[in-house]
Amino acid sequence: MLYRRSLIPSLMLLTVAFVWGATFVLIKTALEEIGPFTFLAMRFSLAFAVLAMSFLARLRRGGRSLWQAGGVLGAVLFAAYGFQTVGLRTTTATRAGFLTGLFVILVPLLSALMLRRLPTLGTWLAALLAVLGLALLSLPMDRSWAPGDGLMLLCALMVAIHILLVDHQGRRHDPLALGTAQIGAVALLSGLVALLAEPFPTHLPATVWWAILFTALPATALALPLQVVAQRRTLPQQAALLLTMEPVFAALTAFLFLGERLTGRGLAGCGLILTAMLVAEGLPVRNRRFLPPSRLADE
């Protein structure tokens, strides 16, 4: 049976992309004053505290399996944020947006390898349009390779794996409880690394506290559970394409609120990413859940 996905999960994922799009500059500014893992520990601890108080009953009902799934998701997400946050120290925010956005190609590739499900030609077309758009939007013509760029590629790989794992685990657990559990795992892992590798900050300027507050609440406590909820009703390839709107929103908010210049090349890139998203939204997909490879062989 063929169906077109509901508009609601698409709008949810676009909301996630919009909120995340505003965080690159905030994080890069904050990292001038605070260690990357200390920042992550404070961000995710605050988000976990807010969500745990809100969804305590759901967390109790989830049992051990919920926390195990949340731990796996959290470990992958911790790696993604760790690579991104450390990498932002030695690369530009725009280059980081492009390299991280390469998960849009990695998701269908890993989906074929891990789930034995070949993406459609339309999905590949949309993904390639998105990558071209990301390049036009984010890459300066004379920018040489920086050490942080390699970390951003590792971040893209972890983001792709995380999207596929959310698709797998999000159908088996309460999405709000699962989103909370994974945030708790990231907070724990970040805190351990921060204690071992970074000095404890004795004074932080107001800009860092604002960055922690914004990234902890809308960009984590709201966005990550919203992603889990939305992915229950969409495919990971389409989710990846919708999330590539993140650098578009980052460029537009920087243009509107920070006075940054948006060139014709950047506008063309935004247009290509938007086209890729619309292509993905128009693709009919088969109405079946993703199954592990062992079960796919039995169908």
- Residue 188 in tokens: 């724990």
| pTM score, whole prediction | 0.84
Instruction: Compute the average pLDDT of residues 97-123.
Output: 82
Alpha-carbon distance 84 to 74, whole Å? Answer: 15
Instruction: Give pLDDT tens digits for 19-31.
Output: 988 887 788 788 8
Instruction: Give pLDDT tens digits for 28-59.
Output: 788 889 999 999 999 999 999 999 999 999 99
Give the Å distances, CA to CA, from 60 to 177, 178, 179, 276: 9, 11, 14, 41
What is the pairing mode between strands 285-286 and 2-3?
A: antiparallel
Q: Is 2 helix (H, G, I), strand (E, B) or coil?
A: strand
Alpha-carbon distance 239 to 149, whole Å? Answer: 24
Radius of gyration of the chain (CA): 19
Alpha-carbon distance 98 to 91, whole Å? Answer: 11
Helix locations, 7-55, DSSP H: 7-21, 23-30, 36-54
The predicted pLDDT at position 105 comes to: 86
Instruction: Give pLDDT tens digits for 160-190.
Output: 999 999 998 998 999 999 999 999 999 999 9
Alpha-carbon distance 290 to 277, whole Å? Answer: 22
**Is 155 a residue whose pLDDT tops 50?**
yes
The predicted pLDDT at position 278 comes to: 78
Instruction: Give pLDDT tens digits for 196-248.
Output: 999 988 889 999 999 999 999 999 999 999 999 999 888 888 889 889 888 88
Q: How many residues does the chain have?
A: 299
- Residues 130-161, buried b or exposed e (16+ Cβ, 10 A)? bbbbbebbbbeeeeeebebbebbbbbbbbbbb
- Residue 278 in tokens: 């619309």
Number of Cβ within a 10 Å radius of residue 248: 27
Most confident among 84-93, 103-112, 118-127 (mean pLDDT): 103-112
